């Protein structure tokens, strides 16, 4: 009689096996689906004879069939599919994304990165659950709070990147050392005397300077202005071969909203000298800015410029629109100590006395003074106007990067990744989701590309890891096992029928 029940247990376990295999095949095209494997175990045995003795070979036990031991999810890597959606993302290696049910605040984990932004600005999965990440601060550092990834709160407003005032200008130009200059009196006096910030055109006429650089800069409101740097050769040391160029950095006088407005010094932000060695290498610099006290046309009111955090001379502009700009001006030298040696004013420099300098480090792209044509070889500034978000994309470290209409990019969020001491203990919740429980152990939090975690790929989805060929083989063997166990029942039934017929 027990053979009937043994056959029944075998049919039951193989039926469960067919259910697992069928579910795998059904999810062959499910995003990031992980196939399951069923494991069987035998049931306890019972003795059919007296206890074994030292003379017996076996234990004289028979089994009572089989049952399902467990069903294990196999978290092997699935292949990848490139998509046209910039918010699709796949994990290559270990890790799970986290999503939050915004209705009950429950957290789930998933490998399926087919995310989109909903009408409220949340990055959500196909269930409408918010993806979890860490926001970037305005200074580019990561905050220490895990939150929902959200780009806007008003569906009628396009996310913007706030304007940034120019804080650093870098110029590298070759200034022709062979150009004729005021070699008899190596001073800034004539250049400064000719400067007229009230002019309706340029503050210096074309024959009053040797060369000029122009660069577009931005004030605190995001409005753009033209910063011009005028150069004039003001000295040539016959003994050392050094070449000295004077320079004036200025914005249009009509845009000046400072105390210099309306004076001949209107628009002038900085003036000083650049000294080049006989082989054309920039070796030293002086820089002076208006002190804010006294007559700005009195050169003694122009003192040594403040050295910025990047150790280059700094200047401040106040514009007629009320906005401001404080920026360094770097020709290729930066101070190693952050301080000037000596004390002087622009009046000293204009008279030909170079009384101040700083211990300098020269950058790879610094200004030069070679014979030939004057030209600009490099220029850069870090300001920009306000921009509207035009697209987003994911970097390999899980950073959500925004592209803006002003040509700038900004790091917005970085996706959190999670792993578990026992990932096989995760509970399947449907919808490509898993939940943690007391069998999963410690939850490990991190970022893509760090520690145990893999990298992520944008515009990519992980495919199901189901191997159809293997599943078909398993399906056949499961079917044969089910059939064989059914034979146990029919054969045992035949034996019982024979026993019943003995009575006749």
Asked whether residue 182 carries a pLDDT value surpassing 70, the answer given is no
Distance CA 181, CA 134 (A): 58
Asked whether residue 354 carries a pLDDT value surpassing 80, the answer given is no
Confidence band, pLDDT 50/70/90 cuts, at residue 389: very high
Asked whether residue 184 carries a pLDDT value surpassing 50, the answer given is no
Asked whether residue 58 carries a pLDDT value surpassing 70, the answer given is no
pTM for this predicted structure:
0.79
| Residue boundaries of the structural domains of the chain | 2-52+466-501, 80-158+394-462, 168-381
Per-residue pLDDT at 183: 47
Per-residue pLDDT at 55: 56
Per-residue pLDDT at 49: 65
| HSE-CB of 252 using CA atoms within 13 angstroms | 11
Average pLDDT, integer, range 133-144: 94
Confidence band, pLDDT 50/70/90 cuts, at residue 186: very low
Average pLDDT, integer, range 88-114: 97
Residue pair 307/335 in contact by the 8 Å Cβ criterion? yes
Per-residue pLDDT at 500: 81
Per-residue pLDDT at 50: 61
Average pLDDT, integer, range 469-491: 87
Strand order in the sheet with 314-318: 314-318, 324-330, 168-174, 375-381
Confidence band, pLDDT 50/70/90 cuts, at residue 469: very high
The Cβ of residue 359 has, within 10 Å, a number of other Cβ atoms equal to 15
The Cβ of residue 406 has, within 10 Å, a number of other Cβ atoms equal to 18
Per-residue pLDDT at 156: 81
Confidence band, pLDDT 50/70/90 cuts, at residue 224: very high
| Residue 303 DSSP class | E
Per-residue pLDDT at 53: 55
Distance CA 13, CA 38 (A): 9
Average pLDDT, integer, range 314-319: 96
Mean pLDDT is lowest, of 317-321, 350-354, 392-396, for 350-354
Confidence band, pLDDT 50/70/90 cuts, at residue 181: low
Distance CA 376, CA 270 (A): 19
Per-residue pLDDT at 138: 87
Give the burial class of 3: count Cβ atoms within 10 A of its Cβ; 0-12 exposed, 13-18 middle, 19 or more buried.
Answer: middle
**Chain segment 404-454, per-residue pLDDT in tens:** 999 999 999 999 999 999 999 999 999 999 999 999 999 999 999 999 999
What phi, psi does 32 have (nearest 5°)?
A: 60, 20
Structure tokens at 140: 């580019």
Average pLDDT, integer, range 238-267: 92
Confidence band, pLDDT 50/70/90 cuts, at residue 355: low
Residue pair 268/255 in contact by the 8 Å Cβ criterion? no
Average pLDDT, integer, range 306-325: 91
Name which of 108, 175, 92 is nearest 374 in CA terms: 175
* Mean of the per-residue pLDDT values of the chain: 89
Query: May I ask the CATH architecture of the domain 168-381?
Result: Sandwich (2.60)
Name which of 119, 485, 205, 187 is nearest 352 in CA terms: 187
The Cβ of residue 134 has, within 10 Å, a number of other Cβ atoms equal to 18
Mean pLDDT is lowest, of 45-49, 81-85, 342-346, 398-402, for 45-49
Confidence band, pLDDT 50/70/90 cuts, at residue 234: confident
Asked whether residue 56 carries a pLDDT value surpassing 80, the answer given is no
% of residues, the chain, pLDDT over 70: 93
Name which of 444, 503, 435, 438 is nearest 107 in CA terms: 435
Distance CA 473, CA 480 (A): 11
Per-residue pLDDT at 73: 93
Confidence band, pLDDT 50/70/90 cuts, at residue 191: confident
Beta bridge partners of 120: none
Name which of 143, 187, 128 is nearest 346 in CA terms: 187
Average pLDDT, integer, range 371-391: 95
Per-residue pLDDT at 448: 97
């Amino acid at each position: 009689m027990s053979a009937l029940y043994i056959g029944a247990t075998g049919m039951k376990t193989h039926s469960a096996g067919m259910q697992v295999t069928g579910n795998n095949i059904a999810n062959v095209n499910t995003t990031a689906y992980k196939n399951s494997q069923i494991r069987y175990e035998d049931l306890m045995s019972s003795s059919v004879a007296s206890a074994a003795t030292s003379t017996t070979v076996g234990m004289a036990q028979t089994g009572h069939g089989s049952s399902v031991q467990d069903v294990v999810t196999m978290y092997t890597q699935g292949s990848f599919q490139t998509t046209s959606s910039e918010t699709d993302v796949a994990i290559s290696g270990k890790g799970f994304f986290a999503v939050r049910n915004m209705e009950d605040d429950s957290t789930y984990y998933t490998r399926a990165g087919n995310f989109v932004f909903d009408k409220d600005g949340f990055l959500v999965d196909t269930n409408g659950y918010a993806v979890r990440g860490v926001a970037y601060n305005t200074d580019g550092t990561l905050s220490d709070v895990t939150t929902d990834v959200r780009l806007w709160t008003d569906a009628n407003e396009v996310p913007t990147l706030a304007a940034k005032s120019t804080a650093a200008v870098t110029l590298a130009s070759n200034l022709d050392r062979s150009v004729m200059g005021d070699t008899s009196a190596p001073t800034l006096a004539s250049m400064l005397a000719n400067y007229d910030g009230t002019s309706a055109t340029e503050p210096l006429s074309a024959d009053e300077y040797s060369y000029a650089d122009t660069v577009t800069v931005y004030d605190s409101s995001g409005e753009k202005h033209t910063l011009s740097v005028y150069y004039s050769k003001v000295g040539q040391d016959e003994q050392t071969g050094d070449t000295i160029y004077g320079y004036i950095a200025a914005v249009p006088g009509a845009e000046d909203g400072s105390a210099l407005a309306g004076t001949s010094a209107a628009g002038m932000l900085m003036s000083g000298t650049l000294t080049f060695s006989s082989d054309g290498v920039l070796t030293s610099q002086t820089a002076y800015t208006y002190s804010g006290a006294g007559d700005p046309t009195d050169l003694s009111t122009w003192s040594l410029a403040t050295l910025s955090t990047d150790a280059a001379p700094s200047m401040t502009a106040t514009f007629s629109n009320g906005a401001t700009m404080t920026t360094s001006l770097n020709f290729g030298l930066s101070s190693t100590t952050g301080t000037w040696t000596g004390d002087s004013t622009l009046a000293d420099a204009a008279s030909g006395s170079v009384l101040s300098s700083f211990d300098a480090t020269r950058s790879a792209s610094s200004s030069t003074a070679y014979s030939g044509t004057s030209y600009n070889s490099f220029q850069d500034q870090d300001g920009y106007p306000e921009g509207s978000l035009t697209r987003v994309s994911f970097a390999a470290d899980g950073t959500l990067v925004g592209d803006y209409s002003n040509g700038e990019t900004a790091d917005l969020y970085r996706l959190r990744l999670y792993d578990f001491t026992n990932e096989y203990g995760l509970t399947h919740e449907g919808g490509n989701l898993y939940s943690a429980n007391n069998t999963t152990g410690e939850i490990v939090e991190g970022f893509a590309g760090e520690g145990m975690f893999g990298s992520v790929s944008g515009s990519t989805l992980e495919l199901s890891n189901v191997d159809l060929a293997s599943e078909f083989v398993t399906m056949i063997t499961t079917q044969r096992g089910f059939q064989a166990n059914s034979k146990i029942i029919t054969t045992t039934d035949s034996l019982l029928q024979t026993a019943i017929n003995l009575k006749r």
